[in-house]
Amino acid sequence: MSLYWRIFLLNAVVLVAAALLLLGPVTVSTPVLFGEAVVLIAGLVVMLIANAVLLRIGLAPLARLTGAMATADLLKPGDRTTVTGSTEVVKLTQAFNAMLARLEAERATSSGRALSAQEAERQRIAQELHDEVGQTLTAVLLQLKRAADHAPQDVRADLQQAQETTRAGLDEIRRIARRLRPGVLEELGLHSALRALTTEFTSSRLRATAYITPGLPSLDPATELVLYWITQEGLTNTARHARATRVEVHLRPLPETKVELLVRDNGQGIGAAPEGAGISGMRERALLIGAHLDIGQGHHGGTEVRLHVTGSTADDRPQEMAR
C-alpha cells in the first residue's frame, strides 16, 4: 500500500469512528449542554491522540531513513540503511543507498587523483629541498669552514657558531625532505622504514617501538605508502597531543591474507575531541586502498589506530598514487 493511501485510510478510520459515534450514542443539543460539551471535547482529544499515534506509526520508517541520512559519513563507507515500510519508503531507501554508493565511489576516485597530485608535488618539493637547498647549504658550510680556518682568533668563534647553525639548518632540511617523501621506504622497504620512523620519534619523553610480525603477505607500493603515512600521522598525533610516554607500532598478518597496522599509546586518549585534518587525512588514505580504519580508546586507556588492509593487490587509483 502506498504512503498516500496509508495516511488517507488512517484519517478515514478516525473520521468514520467519529461519525458513527455521532449517529449512535452521542447526541448534541442546541444549545450544547455541559455534559455533551465534555463528551465532545473528550472525543476530540481521543481522535487527535489516535490520529497522532497512527501517523507516527505510519511515518516511522521515514523518520528512521532521515536519521540514517543525517548520520551518513563518506569517510566511513559500507554502512547502508535497511529501513522497511511502504513501497515508497523502500524505493526511497534503495535510491539513497545507491546514491551513497555512487558518492563513495566518486569520492574515492577524486581523493585518489588529489592525493596522487599531492604525492607528486611532495616528491618534487622534497627533491628540490634535497638537491637545491641542501647543496646550497653544503656549499655555505664549506665556505664558512674555509673562512674560519683563515680568520683571526676573535672572529673564528663566530664563524664556527655560524657553521653549527648552518649544519643544524641542513639537518632540518633533510628531515623535512624525508618526511615529505620517505626515501627509506623505497630503498629499504616497509619494515625498515617503520623501524626508522619509530626511532625518529623516540625521545627522552616518548619511547616508540616497532613490532613487525614475520610472515606478512606481499604488499603493493601504494599500500606500503599508505601504511607508512598512517603510521607517521599516528606517531605525530601521539607526540603532539597524547601526553604519552610509550607508543607501539604493530604490523602483523591476519587470516584470509589480511594485514593489520596498530599504533597504540598510553596517553590521555582521544576522548570526545572532534576529528581534525590529520585523522580525516588518514581516513582518506585508507579509502584509497579499500582499508578499514578505526580510531578510538584503547582497552587500557590511550588511543589506538587500527588499519585493516588486504595483502594482495591494489586497484588503479593506489597504483597511480604510488607512481
Domains present along the chain, CATH in parentheses: 3-104 (no CATH), 184-323 (3.30.565.10)
Q: What percent of the chain lies above the pLDDT cut of 90?
A: 12
DSSP state of 272: T
Q: Quote the cell numbers at residue 264.
A: 597504540
Q: Which residues pair with 308 in a beta bridge?
A: 260, 292
Element holding 253 (H helix, E strand)? strand 246-254
Q: Quote the cell numbers at residue 64.
A: 528512521
Question: What is the pLDDT at residue 53?
Answer: 77
- What is the pLDDT confidence band of residue 75, given thresholds at 50, 70 and 90? low
- What is the pLDDT confidence band of residue 25, given thresholds at 50, 70 and 90? low
SS3 210: strand
- Between 205 and 60, residue with greater pLDDT: 205
40 to 15, 27, 37: CA distances (angstroms): 14, 9, 5
From the list 60, 59, 56, 68, the residue with the least C-alpha distance to 94 is 68
From the list 176, 187, 189, 197, the residue with the least C-alpha distance to 223 is 189
In whole angstroms, what is the distance from residue 96 CA to residue 84 CA? 13
Q: Give the tens place of pLDDT for each residue, 40-57.
A: 777 777 777 877 777 777
Q: What is the dihedral of CA 239, 299, 214, 209, to 10 degrees?
A: 30
Span 248-273, average pLDDT? 86
Q: Quote the cell numbers at residue 76.
A: 566511513
In whole angstroms, what is the distance from residue 15 CA to residue 24 CA? 14
Q: Give the tens place of pLDDT for each residue, 160-201.
A: 889 899 888 888 888 787 777 666 777 788 898 899 889 989
Q: Which residue has the cell 511502504?
A: 86
- Between 110 and 155, residue with greater pLDDT: 155
CA angle (46, 51, 57) in 5-degree steps? 130
Judge whether 133 and 173 are in contact, CB under 8 Å. Answer: yes
Q: Which residue has the cell 487527535?
A: 48
**pLDDT score of 85 more than 60:** yes
